Amino acid sequence: MSSQQDKQSRLDMLGSALDKSEIRQLRYMLNKGLRPVEAAKLLEKTPPKERELLWNLLNQENEGKILQHLGDDLQADILSRMDANELLVVTEGLDSDDMADILQQLPETVMKELLRIMDKQNRKRVEKLLSYPEDTAGGLMNTDAVTVRPDINIETVLRYLRRHTELPQSTDSLFVVSRKDSFIGILPLSRLLTADPQVMVREIMQTDLAPIPADKPAQEVARLFEDQDLVSAPVVDEQGKLLGRVTIDDVVDVIREDADHSLMSMAGLDEDEDTFAPALRTTRRRAVWLGINLITAFIASAVIGLFEDTLEQVVALAVLMPIVASMGGIAGSQTLTLVIRGQALGQIERSNIGWLFNRELISGVLNGTLWALIVAAVAVIWFSDLTVGIVIALAIVINLLAGAMAGTLLPMILKSAGIDPALAGSVLLTTITDVVGFFAFLGLATLFYG
C-alpha cells in the first residue's frame, strides 16, 4: 500500500535520531505497553514532530482506539490527513458513539464518503447517532443498553445474562422496556442480585428515574448525573422509545470540558486547544484575540488623548493613571468571574441578580473607599500635591463601582443575547473599566486644575 510505504519513509526520516532497538521499544510501548488512553495522553504532550513519529509507529488496529481519546483539535489534525478508506479501517471496531464522534470532526464530503462505504448495519447505527447534535443527550449516548421485559422473573433474567460473556462497560442497571421498546423502568444490578429469584421484574424495577430526552443539552445531563449520583441513564425519543444510554465516563468528559471552557475562554483560547500546536497555528489563533484587545486599547488611548492639555500641565497624572484603570479592572474581573461561575452552576436567576448587583455595589463602595484613601495618601506624599490625591480617590471609587456594575450585568446581558460571557465578558469589561477609569481620572483632573 503506498500510504504504508509513505509512512515508512516519513518514519525513517523522523526517527533517524533513534537507533533500531529504541524504535522497537517505542513501538512496543505504544501498541502493547500502554492502554489506548495513556498512549493518547502521551501523544498530546508531545511536540508535533515527535508526535508524528509516534503516530506512525502505531499499528493500524490501534489508531482508532487512540484517536477517540485525543482532544478535538489534535483529532481533527490527524483525521485531515486520512482519506475515507483509511478512515474506514481505523474506525472499524469502535463503539458506534465513538465512531459518530469521530465522524463529526470530518468535512462533509469525507463523512458522506465514509458512510457510503461502511457496512449497512454500522451505517444505520451511526446515522441515528449523527442525527443528534454532539452536545445533547443523543450525541452523548451509546446504543449498547441491555434490556429486559417486565413480565419475566428474576431467575429468567439471570439465566439470560449468563448467555452473555460480558456486559457492556458501566452497566449498573438493565433497562425494562415494553414489547414496542418503550422505556418502563430500570433494574439496578444491585437489586437484581439481592432479589428473590421468583419475583417478577415488574415488582422490583425502579420507575422513579425519569428517562432523559435525546435533545436534552449535555450540560443539563451532567448536572442530572451529579445531583443523583448516576452511573448510567436511559435516553428516549419523544414517544418514550428507548434509544440508548448515557454513561458516567461520557459525563465526566462533559464536566471537564465545561469547566475548562470558562478558564480558556476568558483568555480567548478554545478549551480543545492542543497545548503543543505548531507555532504558526498558535500565532494565527492568538492574533485574533490580540487584535480584538488592541481595539480596546486604542479606545482607552483615545480617551486619554482627549486630555492631552491637562497631561502636559500635570505630568503626575500620566504616572498615576494606570492605577485607576488597573484597580477597576481587577475588581470588575473578580465580579465577572464569580457571576460566570454562578451561571455555569445554574445559580444566577432573575430573582437573585438584583441582590447580587446590590452586594457588588456595596462591596465596590467599601473597597473603593478603602483603597482610594490609601492611594490618595501615597499620591499626595509622592507629588506633594493635595489635588491629585482628591482626584485619584474619587476616580478609584467611581471605577470600582463601574467594575462592579459591568461585572454583574455584562454576563447577564451577553447570555441573554446568546453570546458566550466567558469569551466576550473580559474584553468588554476591560474596555469599560479603562474608559471609565481614564475618563473619570483625567476629566476630574481637568475640572480641578482647570
Assess 295 for contact with a copy of itself (CB under 8 A).
no
Closest distance to a copy of itself from the beta carbon of 439 (Å): 13
Assess 377 for contact with a copy of itself (CB under 8 A).
no
Assess 449 for contact with a copy of itself (CB under 8 A).
no
Closer to a copy of itself at the Cβ: 111 or 321?
321
Part in contact with a copy of itself (CB under 8 A); list of ranges 74-82, 107-115, 123-131, 371-379: 371-379
Closer to a copy of itself at the Cβ: 9 or 358?
358
Assess 318 for contact with a copy of itself (CB under 8 A).
yes
Closest distance to a copy of itself from the beta carbon of 327 (Å): 6
Residue 31 neighbours by CB under 8 Å, 6+ apart: 57, 58, 59, 62
Assess 355 for contact with a copy of itself (CB under 8 A).
yes
Assess 413 for contact with a copy of itself (CB under 8 A).
no
Assess 38 for contact with a copy of itself (CB under 8 A).
yes
Assess 350 for contact with a copy of itself (CB under 8 A).
no
Do residues 332 and 404 make contact, with C-beta atoms less than 8 angstroms apart? yes
Assess 133 for contact with a copy of itself (CB under 8 A).
no
Among 30, 57, 218, 327, binds a copy of itself (CB under 8 A): 327
Give the footprint of a copy of itself on residues 69-88 (CB under 8 A).
Answer: none
Give the footprint of a copy of itself on residues 194-223 (CB under 8 A).
Answer: 194-196
Assess 148 for contact with a copy of itself (CB under 8 A).
no
Closer to a copy of itself at the Cβ: 34 or 419?
34
Assess 290 for contact with a copy of itself (CB under 8 A).
yes
Closer to a copy of itself at the Cβ: 115 or 353?
353
Give the footprint of a copy of itself on residues 156-175 (CB under 8 A).
Answer: 158, 161-162, 164-167, 169-172
Assess 293 for contact with a copy of itself (CB under 8 A).
yes
Closest distance to a copy of itself from the beta carbon of 23 (Å): 18
Among 35, 81, 112, 124, binds a copy of itself (CB under 8 A): 35
Part in contact with a copy of itself (CB under 8 A); list of ranges 106-114, 132-140, 179-187, 302-310: 302-310
Assess 402 for contact with a copy of itself (CB under 8 A).
no
Assess 17 for contact with a copy of itself (CB under 8 A).
no
- Hey, how many other C-beta atoms are within 10 angstroms of the C-beta on 244? 25
Assess 320 for contact with a copy of itself (CB under 8 A).
yes
Q: How many residues bind a copy of itself (CB under 8 A)?
A: 117
Among 89, 362, 377, 447, binds a copy of itself (CB under 8 A): 362
Assess 296 for contact with a copy of itself (CB under 8 A).
yes
Do residues 61 and 49 make contact, with C-beta atoms less than 8 angstroms apart? no
Quote the CA–CA distance of 107 and 76 in Å, as a whole number. 10
CA 52 vs. chain centroid, Å, equals: 26
Give the footprint of a copy of itself on residues 242-281 (CB under 8 A).
Answer: 248-249, 251-252, 255-256, 258-260, 262-264, 266-269, 273, 275-276, 278-280
Largest CA distance in the chain: 95
C-alpha distances out from residue 280 to 44, 80, 102, 292, Å? 18, 17, 25, 19
